[in-house]
Structure 1
């Protein structure tokens, strides 16, 4: 395309063009006379050594620039260089002058908060604990779960129940954060720690899926919960009503199970195993086991057979009836798409990407996403996260046909989301949100236990509220600690409590879980936010052009080699 047009008075008319893909494609652009590459944009897939799929979108734009007035053009070049130099100088001044002390102070605070937030997961471990477990008031527990076949995993919150759905979500999110920000984790000495947390969860998730066998052909089993909130046949005590350390449990812990129609639960487990396989890509045997299990489960829960019906796990009493009160699912297509997306990253198999792109469009057309969940990513809604991942695929790999309809829709959604963040009101809110959690709020209280000088002392948590005195405490004795006004005898370091109400009021009372109870899914979001906001490594290694940001831009594409 010609962008230079000469008139009699030697002026030059410059035009900007956007490709039919709806965005600029700078990585393959060429100026006939002058070639400039400032490495400001992701490299094209060709530069990464990947083969390209055919696309109906143009991947390059040829510019023919005619310079008719060299004197003016030189002035333009000199002026541009001067502006660039000024910007560089200003950036250096902002980095090294008065901001330096405050800048590194903030980094130190985020480092401490991140390290503490990871410790919380060690406090939530169930099963035979590792000898080097950092939480001293915890011991082995839940050793008979599922007749010993479901030992391990994490207690969800302040009670002693293990919910599979939020556990899988937690492992997916933590794995994603490691895939993106492993240089940051490594710099602060927490990479091995978070990988051990993820493996603790992924090991447990592998136990939740029982493949069909000869005795029950075509029927798979998914375990959705260990522990109970209601009465059981042998005891009136349960994991919700009994205030007892997990180490002291002697009551029966029922197990809830589902079949392959629990689509949302299956989709989240698939996503977790697939994302974790990328975290452990250097351990080929373990990574392959995770991926293989995810593929098998995906084939079962997405099968196209007459009479097979997909659905939500909480709609069936025997499957998620008790979880309904805590983690009620309102849709399942977003989880299946979520699982397919991560399986594509884990395997590079384009059949999963095709499933993802086709079904995301269908889910949007059917308006499965609740209006109150628009733009929110959490355990019940994966739409926003799905669109972010597909937008990333579009910009970094530019796959084009036949995925462009879903890619374009995803990009538009992400654009709208980013614009909402940049609005005056949202920009101010987003800028203070982590500071709010860490103490910059009307209560002047950090909602992360152990961070700053003022934080909750009466966290709604059984293990933290009962003394670690090598004595067995019954449920009745535990109730005394639930109602005690004394601070918890054990510090639940790094636990983010639920926090204040809409009026910024917070009551630090143990018997009010809507204020003081933490959960693994919430802490996973906290960890992801803290590592994203953390400063990049001071001595960045080669990270495919993103070292200055502390992000591994292409690690998520490790297994994608398209023909």
Structure 2
């Protein structure tokens, strides 16, 4: 038997069958022979029946609101659009009617604190289904910072409303997590249990414990990052679109000359000839695990420093080169679903690898060499090794996983480059 009964009507006349887990994938050109057997107690006419075969792995994505091309070398409008779509893919909780991700549904609806507090919502961190508030709040802060600094980039790309909806999702969750004057939930889900589960978040059944910080169990880093996210969100939704206040105050308080010196010292170590090594094709390579994350974050920092007047010419050019490396300058785009030079097809990401329900998913899908059945539009994969080497393999979580923080600095850097393009200050 190649199928398992999934459900049937009350009269037993309509059945839904799904393929067995040991036969998860059928390729183009495969021949399937289906046999149905039944017994009946005589009589005429003999019973008949019909079957409808459905490919539950088909990606039903339709781009109905994609932005126009802005005529830059890499369509920054499209990059911003798709990066926001990636964050929608990461949503946990009850999804709105406006959900644009066809293979995502409601999930983790029972996430709660130890006293039953509602902790639904937020973003899943990466290719897994844990909600880690430190990277979530960091990502929210950095994304919002980019909007505060470069609002015209999102407006020109036609993505302002979508962006504000994007950051509203984690901000509303972070508000739920502050359950008392000295109490903040900072994680939902157990990493070990979660990482042993390969399936869509909609079908999770394992325990999802919650963890909090208190006065007796402090966590100043995550508390301050959460505060930063809420402060940035306040500014964004109050429409005080100006240079992010904390950055400007830091620049003034430490003295322009001293601050400029600190920035330049940092970037001397990152520019060619400094401490950071470069791949043969030009990526500033700090670490093996998610190399593009570090280069993108530093590109973002360079573009913000340039906006403050620190070495605008060389900083903008260097940042552009790092971001364009990710977008396709090497002949390959590390942003999934972007460009015509090829991009990753098998990211380490559970929900995009699993066929549509009710088809089964599990470790057999993770280990398969077939591409993910759904294109994870807008996700930036970890990136190459030190020799520009890269393996598009679902098992390769070092180079081929995705995460909310991978996209955060990258997206703000894109907004900065879009701003420069609008102002006719772009390095190209």
Match of 1:239 in 2: 194
Give 1:430 shift.
Answer: 3.8
Match of 1:390 in 2: 250
Match of 2:350 in 1: 462
Residue 448 (structure 1) aligned with residue 335 (structure 2): yes
Contact 1:159 1:462 in 2 (8 A): yes
CA 1:389/1:172 → structure 2, altered by over 3 Å: closer, same or farther?
A: farther
Match of 1:416 in 2: 265
Classify the secondary structure of the residue corresponding to 2:329. coil
Match of 1:77 in 2: none
Q: Please show how residues 250-399 of structure 1 align to structure 2 within 5 Å.
A: 250-260=205-215, 261-282=218-239, 345=245, 390-391=250-251, 394=252
Gaps of 5+ in 1: 1-102, 213-219, 231-237, 284-340, 346-352, 354-385, 395-402, 539-546, 551-563
The 1-side partners of 2:201 and 2:187 are apart by: 16
Match of 1:229 in 2: 191
The 1-side partners of 2:351 and 2:213 are apart by: 30
The 1-side partners of 2:122 and 2:205 are apart by: 19
The 2-side partners of 1:150 and 1:420 are apart by: 42
CA 1:487/1:422 → structure 2, altered by over 3 Å: closer, same or farther?
A: closer
The structure with more radius of gyration: 1
Residue 439 (structure 1) aligned with residue 328 (structure 2): yes
Give 1:188 shift.
Answer: 1.1
Residue 174 (structure 1) aligned with residue 148 (structure 2): no
The 2-side partners of 1:229 and 1:177 are apart by: 30
The 1-side partners of 2:98 and 2:209 are apart by: 30
The 2-side partners of 1:205 and 1:407 are apart by: 34
CA 1:151/1:498 → structure 2, altered by over 3 Å: closer, same or farther?
A: same
Residues 149-183 of structure 1 show CA distances to partners (whole Å, capped at 9, x for unaligned) of 10000000000000000000011011111111111
Give 1:445 shift.
Answer: 1.7
Classify the secondary structure of the residue corresponding to 1:258. strand
Contact 2:80 2:159 in 1 (8 A): no
Q: Please show how residues 476-515 of structure 1 align to structure 2 within 5 Å.
A: 477-515=361-399
The 2-side partners of 1:534 and 1:167 are apart by: 24
Classify the secondary structure of the residue corresponding to 2:187. strand
Give 1:410 shift.
Answer: 2.5
CA 1:148/1:136 → structure 2, altered by over 3 Å: closer, same or farther?
A: farther
Match of 1:121 in 2: 87
Structure with more helix by fraction: 1
Give 1:423 shift.
Answer: 6.9
CA 1:222/1:157 → structure 2, altered by over 3 Å: closer, same or farther?
A: same
The 2-side partners of 1:169 and 1:482 are apart by: 29
RMSD of aligned Cα (Å): 2.8
The 2-side partners of 1:389 and 1:520 are apart by: 28
Contact 1:228 1:253 in 2 (8 A): yes
The 1-side partners of 2:234 and 2:259 are apart by: 25
Residue 248 (structure 1) aligned with residue 217 (structure 2): no
Structure 1 stretches of at least 4 aligned residues deviating more than 4 Å after TM superposition: 417-429, 535-538, 547-550
CA 1:511/1:262 → structure 2, altered by over 3 Å: closer, same or farther?
A: same
Residue 524 (structure 1) aligned with residue 384 (structure 2): no
Aligned residues: 311
Residues 263-282 of structure 1 show CA distances to partners (whole Å, capped at 9, x for unaligned) of 11111011110011000005
CA 1:440/1:166 → structure 2, altered by over 3 Å: closer, same or farther?
A: same
The 2-side partners of 1:491 and 1:465 are apart by: 9
2:159 to 187, 190, 194: 190
Classify the secondary structure of the residue corresponding to 1:239. helix
Classify the secondary structure of the residue corresponding to 2:234. helix
Q: TM-score, normalised by structure 1?
A: 0.51
Match of 1:141 in 2: 107
Residues 362-421 of structure 1 show CA distances to partners (whole Å, capped at 9, x for unaligned) of xxxxxxxxxxxxxxxxxxxxxxxx5x7622xx2xxxxxxxx45x6653232124346667
CA 1:424/1:513 → structure 2, altered by over 3 Å: closer, same or farther?
A: closer
The 1-side partners of 2:220 and 2:270 are apart by: 32
The 1-side partners of 2:413 and 2:374 are apart by: 26
Give 1:431 shift.
Answer: 4.3
Contact 1:127 1:153 in 2 (8 A): yes
CA 1:243/1:507 → structure 2, altered by over 3 Å: closer, same or farther?
A: same
